[in-house]
C-alpha cells in the first residue's frame, strides 16, 4: 500500500525556503485585518489562521523551526487545510460581499496552497551524532 501523503515529500521548494516564508506569511495574516479594515467575522477568521500559521512556523521540526516538535508532513497537511479554508471562508462565513477581505483570503489562500503543493515536507535537520559507547573502566 502506498503512502497517500507521499506527494508532500516531492516538491521543488525546500523545507528551508518554505520555513523562511512561513514567518512573513503569519505576520501578514495577523496584520492584514487591521490594515485592510476587515469586518468582525473576517477579522476573527484571518487572525485565527495567522495564529495557527505562527504555531506551525515556530513548531515545525526543520531548520527554520524554533521548538521543532511538529513533523513536517503534519505541517503540510495543516497548510493544505488552512489554505483551502482561506479560499472558502468568504463564501462559507458570509463576507464575500466585502471586497478587501474576500480578495485577500482568496489570493493568500491560492498562493499558499500553490506553495504548499510545491514544497518538500521533510526535515532538513542534521541527525544528531550518536554518543560513543562507554568504555569499561580498567
Q: At what angle do helices 40-59 and 99-117 cross, to 10 degrees?
A: 20
Q: Computed from CA positions of residues 109, 60, 76, 18, in that sequence, does the dihedral angle turn out positive or negative?
A: positive
Nearest to 15 by CA among 76, 82, 83, 81: 76
Walk along the chain (138 residues) and give the pLDDT tens digit of each residue: 578 778 788 899 999 999 999 999 999 999 999 999 899 999 999 999 999 999 999 999 999 999 999 999 999 999 999 999 999 999 999 999 999 999 999 999 999 999 999 999 999 998 766 765 666 665
The structure's pTM equals 0.86
Sequence spans of domains, the chain: 11-117
Q: Computed from CA positions of residues 100, 106, 109, 114, in that sequence, does the dihedral angle turn out positive or negative?
A: negative
Amino acid at each position: 500500500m502506498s503512502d497517500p501523503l507521499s506527494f508532500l515529500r516531492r516538491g521543488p521548494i525546500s523545507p528551508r525556503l518554505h520555513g523562511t516564508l512561513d514567518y512573513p506569511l503569519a505576520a501578514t495574516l495577523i496584520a492584514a485585518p487591521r490594515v485592510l479594515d476587515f469586518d468582525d467575522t473576517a477579522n476573527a477568521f484571518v487572525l485565527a489562521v495567522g495564529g495557527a500559521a505562527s504555531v506551525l512556523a515556530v513548531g515545525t521540526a526543520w531548520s527554520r523551526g524554533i521548538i521543532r516538535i511538529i513533523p513536517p508532513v503534519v505541517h503540510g497537511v495543516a497548510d493544505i487545510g488552512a489554505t483551502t479554508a482561506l479560499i472558502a471562508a468568504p463564501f462559507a462565513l458570509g463576507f464575500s460581499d466585502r471586497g478587501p477581505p474576500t480578495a485577500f483570503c482568496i489570493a493568500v489562500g491560492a498562493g499558499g496552497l500553490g506553495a504548499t503543493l510545491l514544497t518538500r515536507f521533510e526535515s532538513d535537520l542534521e541527525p544528531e551524532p550518536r554518543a560513543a559507547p562507554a568504555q569499561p573502566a580498567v
